[in-house]
Amino acid sequence: MDLCAAKQGLAADAAQPRPLSALIHLNRNNGIENFYPLPQDEFKAEQEHKTAEAIVNKLPARLCKKMFARRLRIEWMVATYGVNHVGMQSMTIREVVTDRKEFEKRFKSIATNAFPKIYVEWLRVFERQQRGVWQAHVVVATKDDIRTGTDVATLNQLIKDKNARKICKAIYYSGIKRLASDNLRRIWKEFRRLCGIGEFKARRKKKGARFYKFDACHLLPIISTAEALAVYVSKYISKGFEFRRPEDKGMRLVGSTRNVSRVCNERFSWVGLGGRLWRGKLGILAGMLNTKSLDGFAEMFGPKWAYHLQPAIAIIELPYYENMRLAKLNGWDLRTEQGEPWPFNDLTPPADFVWKQNFKAFVMAKEILLNRKKVKPDRDRKPFAGFKPKPEAERLRPAFKSWLAMSVKDD
């Protein structure tokens, strides 16, 4: 036996790349092989950011600001407390609770008494399901690390299979012990004790025992990134409006702790052509009405001043447009004598035309103000009756003195 040749053959085999395994089903649940590297976290974050922007742009204008504010607040929680301390909790009730006041009462009770002992900050979104019952989705910042040592993706799939009744309870509980970290299981156990479910079910039957009336409180850490969690939570705002009922008017679907609410409010304007055009027109009208803030408009025209002043703002003409897109957005499309698009960069309308349009808007705003200040008659008050003089015979009748004088006169 030639040992040198054998060594050379082994060295050549070691230098060559290892062949792919023919048993493709050995360590996988499907036969799809991926031979390309997984995307990096930066690429995932960029893609999820684009997805979030696309979802926000497709929503109605009344929901875009709500989703944007929720996303900034969730990102602030992740940046402040760390991705390992932020999770998503879903809270449901087995009873058919369709009354919003009852659901708000139950959530306020557990959020006031139990949340401060377990969580640092939280942000909740109420959702009315298709069958009419309420459900709460809460983004929480925990005191302990709940992500380290937890297989989040597998645990999430395990809970979905258990809710769909695809696996038995024995597989579910054994999977929880294997996949969840100690800190996460400790929080689960505390909520089971507070709500009297699971091994603490006998607590509900005790006389005088107090418990929070929630039947499921699933808490999971962030699976991928904060962007994905923000998109996931924000979509429940639109779903809440989809199955909205008339009695839900005035209900606050979104709430949070004080520190989270200070991150971003919904009183802002978008940086775009539409917002730029609106702010330019509103500034011109504010100068004509001698108003220096939005509060001044509210004092003059009421809290719905933007609705009342909409026809006046629409006819205002800007003295200069930065580009043709902004001019076209206002309905001003310049053409040459041959009907071709305007080839010059000068987008300044005639001064007389601008003055006339803005004067019309000023007169219209003044008329709206006078109509709002007009005193409306009270329907319950009776109209004032004019003075009617008495007949001449009654006015000339002598005054009555006494019964004695009348009796002497009659005699």
Domain count, the chain: 2
Whether 140 and 215 map to the same domain: the answer is yes
Whether 152 and 201 map to the same domain: the answer is yes
Q: Which residue has the tokens 């294997």?
A: 178
β partners of residue 127: 135
Instruction: Look at residue 399 and give its three-state secondary structure.
Output: coil
For residue 200, tell me if it sits in a domain. yes
Residues 123-144 have pLDDT tens digits of 998 888 888 888 889 999 999 8
For the chain, helix, strand, coil in percent to 5 are 55, 10, 40
Angle between helices 351-373 and 273-289 (to 10 degrees): 70
For residue 42, tell me if it sits in a domain. no
β partners of residue 137: 90, 125
pTM strictly above 0.75: no
Cβ count within 10 A of residue 358: 21
Whether 231 and 314 map to the same domain: the answer is no
Whether 240 and 104 map to the same domain: the answer is yes
Instruction: Look at residue 368 and give its three-state secondary structure.
Output: helix
For residue 386, tell me if it sits in a domain. no
Q: Nearest to residue 226, comparing CAs of 81, 78, 80, 54?
A: 78
pLDDT band at 221 (very low <50, low <70, confident <90, very high): confident
Cβ atoms of 147 and 139 closer than 8 Å: no
Across the range 258-268, mean pLDDT stands at 86
Residue 219 has pLDDT above 80, yes or no: yes
For residue 2, tell me if it sits in a domain. no
Give the count of alpha carbons within 13 A of 391, CB side only: 3
Residue 9 pLDDT: 46
Task: Name the residue range of residue 168's domain.
Answer: 59-261
Rounded CA-CA distance 256/73 in Å is 9
Residue 253 has pLDDT above 50, yes or no: yes
Residues 27-67 have pLDDT tens digits of 333 333 333 333 444 455 556 556 656 665 666 666 778 87
Copy the structure tokens of residue 159: 């809970």
Phi, psi (deg, nearest 5) at residue 332: -110, 105
Residues 6+ apart with CB under 8 A from 300: 289, 291, 369
Whether 329 and 250 map to the same domain: the answer is no
Q: Which of 261, 288, 322 is the last residue of a domain?
A: 261
β partners of residue 134: 128
Cβ atoms of 138 and 245 closer than 8 Å: no
β partners of residue 123: 139, 256
Q: Nearest to residue 70, comparing CAs of 215, 264, 203, 205?
A: 264
Amino acid at 202: A
Instruction: Look at residue 400 and give its three-state secondary structure.
Output: coil
